[in-house]
Amino acid sequence: MTYALVDCNSFYASCERIFRPDIKNKPVVVLSNNDGCVVALSKEAKNLGIKMCEPWFKIKDSFSKKGGVAFSSNYELYADISSRVMQTLEYLAPKIEIYSIDEAFLDLKGIDRCVSFQEFGFQCRDTVQQWVGMPVCVGVAPTKTLAKVANYGAKKYPGTCGVVDLSSRERQRRLMSLMPVGEVWGVGKKINQKLYSMGVVTALQLADMDIKLIKNKFSSVLGRTVMELQGYPCIGLDERPSTKKQIIVSRTFGKKINSLQGLHEAVSDYTVRACEKLRKEEQYCQMISVFMRTNYFRQQDKQYSGMLSCKLNSPTNDTRDILNAARSITKKVFKENYNFIKAGVLLSDFYDDGVSQSDFFTPNLDRLGGKDLMATIDKINQTGIGKVTFAAQGLEKSWSMKRSLQSPRYSTNWNELLVVR
Amino acid sequence: MTIDYLGNATEEDLPLLKIPYFLNTVRVGWPSPADDYVERPIDLNEYLIKNVAATYFVRVSGDSMINAYIGDGAILVVDRSIEPKHNKIVIASINGSYTCKRLLLKPKICLVAENPKYSPIFIEKEAELEIAGIVIAAINTY
């Protein structure tokens, strides 16, 4: 077996750079919802000493003075660029597994009959850069865990030009001896600490551990990791993206809400978004939950956190039915005289189209034409010309998120295209 | 015989019971022989876009490319996967911003406007020029 792991470099920051040649070598950070803290940063920003999760208000002034550029997160843009990267990889490799928004595993079986793995790695890197404008690193190895090791090397050492082929055992061992054990795929904080206390510091030391001992002291999952580090493939390629089992849409408000009407609007807005996602997955849900909470960090406030669920008569993905349910749950979860800072909607208990047995005497059967209506609304909302919203979402949305530094949605909205002269 | 009026049979707060019935008629018989010849409607995306992953749209501002039938406000279809060649219309990055011009490689590397009002931009070092993509179509709306 041979796997490649293709991983984008500073993905969010690189997305922002595709349309902004003027910030090519400048420090770039991307901020979390409500511009709270740093969630992604470019190499140049790292070199300024900025860390992940640092609160934005603390570094704002000094960062701007040093020529840094900050963006509010623009998930529409990131999702579109991610799908372009994956499409390009699908064109290059016979089988791919999309592992996260910015990583994919490729199955390279048989490719070395045409080109060397090293050469194929460079092909991947160059094609994704050329077609999408996204810089990536490629790690090639006989197991997925070792492909992660290879990618770590490709990212860490500029001399590799972003491609590392770990086909030979000798090279695997050399790189693992330089890699802290905490960086190994599947080794979390707790396991790392326990290994450390046992004197295991590098990835190579872990690879040389006795598998029986690891399985006894830790788990069979970590045993599998050790096997993979030794070069025996245990984790295969998962080509089919598993259908979601639940959908959550939740946000922190731009400012606190204490009225039921305000919460109705916010919850309705998240419900509409969750239903859009549900239809995109081509699923029908029968369970809906609503949760809301106050701000834990404001100790002077009274604290409350609540969640309630409701089972619908039959599975649906019609926004109107789910909105109705969300509304009645919100009324029940809500409590007077609390300052709410976050709310969310969770859809679960999914069914495929047509799987549910409809009951002849259930009054709320599929609304006539409901499917077409929802499809039409989704289509209109994707064009960017205008938006069809449900009255329950409210008009002013005074509670909505702060995203003061957001870049245009260059590739997903006709009104926000890049302008050239 | 006397009749006592007791009230309506259904009260307003009782939910209406809806009983579904089939709106679509069921057809019985042979399928139409024309079914095999049904074609999809013409799709402009199919005509304009060759490589979905590598294609972006950008909007033009100004009249510098007017003689190449690219007007102010036109939307350009830009394919990043095509190799830049002599005489192609390109999106290039110059001094930190993107511009649409015709790329000439000989006798000297330069970017020229399609409008005599603008003078050509000569590129001294090849490293200064970055081509972001090739313009494969322009959509003007009237």
Q: How far is Cα A420 from Cα B76, in angstroms, rounded to an integer?
A: 10
The sign one gets for the Cα dihedral A169, A170, A173, A174 is: negative
Q: Residue B83 phi/psi, 5° resolution?
A: -75, 135
Residue of chain B whose alpha carbon sits nearest to that of A89:
B53
> Parallel, antiparallel, or unpaired: how do β-strands B75-79 and B89-94 relate?
unpaired
Ordered by start, the domain boundaries in chain B are 33-139
Note the CATH architecture for domain A3-7+78-229. Answer: 2-Layer Sandwich (3.30)
Whether residue B53 and residue A363 make contact (CB cut-off 8 A), yes or no, is: no
Q: Residue A27 phi/psi, 5° resolution?
A: -65, 130
Closest CA to A290 of A311, A308, A275, A274: A308
Name residues 15-34 of chain B within 8 A of A (Cβ).
Answer: 15-20, 23
- Counting beta carbons within 10 angstroms of the beta carbon of residue B14, is it exposed (0 to 12), middle (13 to 18) or buried (19 or more)? exposed
* Whether the predicted interface score ipTM is above 0.95: no
- Counting beta carbons within 10 angstroms of the beta carbon of residue A351, is it exposed (0 to 12), middle (13 to 18) or buried (19 or more)? middle
Structural element, H or E, at residue A163: strand A163-165
Q: How far is Cα A282 from Cα A350, in angstroms, rounded to an integer?
A: 10
C-alpha angle with apex A213: A211 to A219, nearest 5 degrees?
Answer: 80
Ordered by start, the domain boundaries in chain A are 3-7+78-229, 9-73, 247-393
Structural element, H or E, at residue A13: helix A11-18
Q: Does B3 touch chain A (CB under 8 A)?
A: no
Going edge to edge, which strands form the sheet with A28-31?
Answer: A38-41, A28-31, A69-72
Low-confidence ranges of chain A (pLDDT < 70): 239-244, 353-368, 384-386, 396-399, 401
Specify the CATH number for A9-73; select among 1.10.10.10, 1.10.3720.10, 3.40.1170.60, 3.40.50.720: 3.40.1170.60
Say which residues have a Cβ less than 8 Å from residue A404's Cβ, sequence separation at least 6.
A35, A72
Q: Does B42 touch chain A (CB under 8 A)?
A: no
Cβ pairs A/B, distance under 8 A: 75
Q: Which CATH class is domain B33-139?
A: mainly beta
Candidates B20, B56, B100; nearest CB to A411:
B56
Q: How far is Cα A367 from Cα A371, in angstroms, rounded to an integer?
A: 8
- pTM score of the predicted model: 0.73
Predicted pLDDT at B136: 96
- Counting beta carbons within 10 angstroms of the beta carbon of residue B131, is it exposed (0 to 12), middle (13 to 18) or buried (19 or more)? middle
Work out the minimum CA distance from B1 to partner chain A, whole angstroms: 38
Can you count the helices (H) and strands (E) in chain A? 14, 13
Note the CATH architecture for domain A247-393. Answer: 2-Layer Sandwich (3.30)
C-alpha angle with apex A375: A373 to A378, nearest 5 degrees?
Answer: 110
Q: How far is Cα B88 from Cα B104, in angstroms, rounded to an integer?
A: 8
Query: How many CB atoms neighbour CB B65 within 10 A?
Result: 27
User: Which residues of B participate in catalysis according to the annotation?
Assistant: 64, 101
C-alpha angle with apex A293: A291 to A294, nearest 5 degrees?
Answer: 165
Residue of chain A whose alpha carbon sits nearest to that of B66:
A421
Q: Which residue in this structure is represented by tokens 């005497």? A: A361
Predicted pLDDT at B24: 47
Residue of chain A whose alpha carbon sits nearest to that of B130:
A21
Q: How far is Cα B93 from Cα B100, in angstroms, rounded to an integer?
A: 9
> Parallel, antiparallel, or unpaired: how do β-strands A418-420 and B55-60 relate?
parallel
Average pLDDT by consecutive 10-residue portion of chain B (142 residues)? Answer: 62 49 51 60 86 94 94 95 95 91 92 94 83 94 88
Interface test with A, best of B58, B70, B129 (most A CBs within 10 A): B58
Predicted pLDDT at A297: 77
Q: Which residue in this structure is represented by tokens 């006989």? A: A142
- Counting beta carbons within 10 angstroms of the beta carbon of residue B8, is it exposed (0 to 12), middle (13 to 18) or buried (19 or more)? exposed
Region at A350 (left for phi over 0; alpha for psi -120 to 50; beta for the rest):
beta
Residues of B in contact with A421 (CB under 8 A): 60-62, 64, 97, 99-100
Structure tokens at A219: 């788990």
